[in-house]
Structure 1
Amino acid sequence: MRTIMTESTTRNSTLQPGQFSAETLTNAPLGRIGTLEVRLANGSDEVASAQEIRYRVFHEELGARAQAAGLQDRRDADRFDDLCDHLLVIDNAIEGPVRHRIVGTYRLLRQDAALAAGGFYSSDEFEMEALVARHPTLQFLELGRSCVLPDYRSRRTIELLWQGIWAYVNRHGIGVMTGCASFFGTVPAAHAEALSFLAQNCRADGEWHVGAVPSRYHAMDLMPTEVVNARSALAAMPPLIKGYLRLGAKIGDGCVVDHDFGTTDVFIVLPVETISSRYINYYGADATRFAA
């Protein structure tokens, strides 16, 4: 999950991996706030536009490494894109074609599509298959490749994205949301207090335990509990991670350094049944309407 943002009874899908829903084909929104709306990408041209937004943020703004094809096309793309749904934030106040009005994106990989791809994107960093195997009755959704253009990095945009995600979760009967969330930089010790707080207070245990793959494991518990200040630790965290924690998410064991993206990644585990009722009530009314 590469993320750049600030502030912070359902029916199962019968779609095959890579297919678009009927709602997608008619550009049906999954949420609206003011001039902004969120919906799924409709076809390959809009997916390409989402990849261009990702390239602008991850590679041009933040300096992530790009493959040769990505440099030529100016797109951030990988083998998972064709099997994912792509959530788009669109500003309808901007004139011109849709591709000029896309200001943010979030990639959604459902469990059935991940199986078709040979695994989840996060499996290169965290032992996700073991987690999924322990919960055979639940449908997993991996969230990733999220970014928003600088002028739209606001609480309103984040809330709209979550409204869209919650509608999608209801539409497809998702039981667990997962993915990587990132600290900037490749030195875990630079985030010692925040990582230690997560390890000491937010770790996913028991049936929800998931660890970093052994070859890439870096310890997170870097400071004694008595010297970790909760307020300063939370202040040092990326807003998206704080947002996940507010929803009730837990964190995997160990972090992973991603040199291609220049980040230190932690793993998010968010069972839908554990989401705070006040957040369900907050997002639920609109999300239920858009999920139908």
Structure 2
Amino acid sequence: MAGLMKARYVAVVARTQNEIIAAQRLRHLAFKGCDGLDADGFDDLCTHILVKDRKTDQLVCCFRFLPLNSGSDIAKSYSAQYYELSALQDFEGTMVEMGRFCIHPDVQDPDILRVAWAAMTAYVDDNNVELLFGCSSFKGTDAKEYFDAFAMLRDRHIAPKRWLPRVKAPNVFRFASRLRRKPDLKQAQLRMPPLLRTYLMMGGWVSDHAVVDEHMNTLHVFTGLEIKAIPPARKRLLRAMSA
């Protein structure tokens, strides 16, 4: 993926170890709220995407891609640590796991997310990816804050049965089977993480439970997006952004 520019921001592939360390610093700041490095063994296997402010060169967003040849490689993914993904072993197309997505907590600009999705679209097209997946995180571990969002996921966005992730993590919130409430759709949208909201707008689906991740201080749901399922109008919009 070549450098992708939109307005004030540019998305580039990290080429040096210093750039990867910068991404790890931003991740720690976004996830933990303090200085440090968020690093793991997957970093060496991944392609890291950086979104920078063209005027200041500030790193404002980052995420990483882990390519997999097909579902037979799903056990190698980060998500497989938390979800039982044997159903996806039968997926025959090229897959990529998108992870560690974060935006600088002091920067509020919707164009950042647009540029990030344009970069994702370019990567998907360049590598003939058929399934984009990962863990979509809600900040904090108190599920009550997100009951309306989880109720909406239950009603509208659970994964097709043939791909449905099963429970593996020791601490989960089984919102699809245990949550009994009609969602307030306005509150649901307000409490939905922006990245997950975008996945869903394009036809994405989620697991029927959320993992309680005390280490990252998040609740997360497995999220999948079959590229062929994206509505044609949205595909055209994304490709126009990535052109």
Query: Cα–Cα, structure 1 residues 118 and 228, in superposed 2: closer, same or farther, change >3 Å?
Result: closer
Query: Cα–Cα, structure 1 residues 49 and 79, in superposed 2: closer, same or farther, change >3 Å?
Result: same
Give CA deviations for 1:147-197 in whole Å, capped at 9, x if unaligned.
Answer: 111343321110000000000001111100111111122132332222122
Displacement after TM superposition at 1:117 (Å): 11
1:212 touches 1:252 (CA, 8 Å); kept in 2?
A: no
Structure 2: 5+ residue runs without aligned partners?
Answer: none
Which protein has greater RCO, CA pairs closer than 8 Å, 6+ apart? 1
Matches within 5 A, 1:182-261: 182-213=137-168, 215-221=170-176, 222-224=178-180, 227-261=182-216
Percent sequence identity is 26
Of the three residues 98, 105, 128, the one matched with 2:62 is: 105
What letter corresponds to residue 115 of structure 2 in structure 1? L
Aligned to 1:84: 46
Question: What TM-score do you get using the length of structure 2 for normalisation?
Answer: 0.90
What letter corresponds to residue 171 of structure 1 in structure 2? D
What letter corresponds to residue 123 of structure 1 in structure 2? A
CA distance in 2: counterparts of 1:255 and 1:235, whole angstroms: 18
Query: Cα–Cα, structure 1 residues 186 and 115, in superposed 2: closer, same or farther, change >3 Å?
Result: same
1:111 touches 1:141 (CA, 8 Å); kept in 2?
A: yes
Displacement after TM superposition at 1:220 (Å): 0.7
Displacement after TM superposition at 1:265 (Å): 0.9
- What stretches of structure 1 move > 4 A for 4+ residues in a row? 112-118
Aligned to 2:236: 281
Matches within 5 A, 1:57-96: 57-61=30-34, 74-94=36-56
CA distance in 2: counterparts of 1:39 and 1:113, whole angstroms: 26
Which range moved further: 163-172 or 113-122? 113-122
Aligned to 2:223: 268
Does 2:122 correspond to 1:122? no
> Which structure has greater strand proportion?
2
What letter corresponds to residue 249 of structure 1 in structure 2? G
Question: What TM-score do you get using the length of structure 1 for normalisation?
Answer: 0.76
Displacement after TM superposition at 1:204 (Å): 0.6
**Corresponding residue pairs, total:** 242
Aligned to 1:64: none
Give CA deviations for 1:116-162 in whole Å, capped at 9, x if unaligned.
Answer: 9961111111123x133121x21111111111113433211100000
- What's the RMSD between the two structures over aligned residues? 2.4
Displacement after TM superposition at 1:262 (Å): 1.0
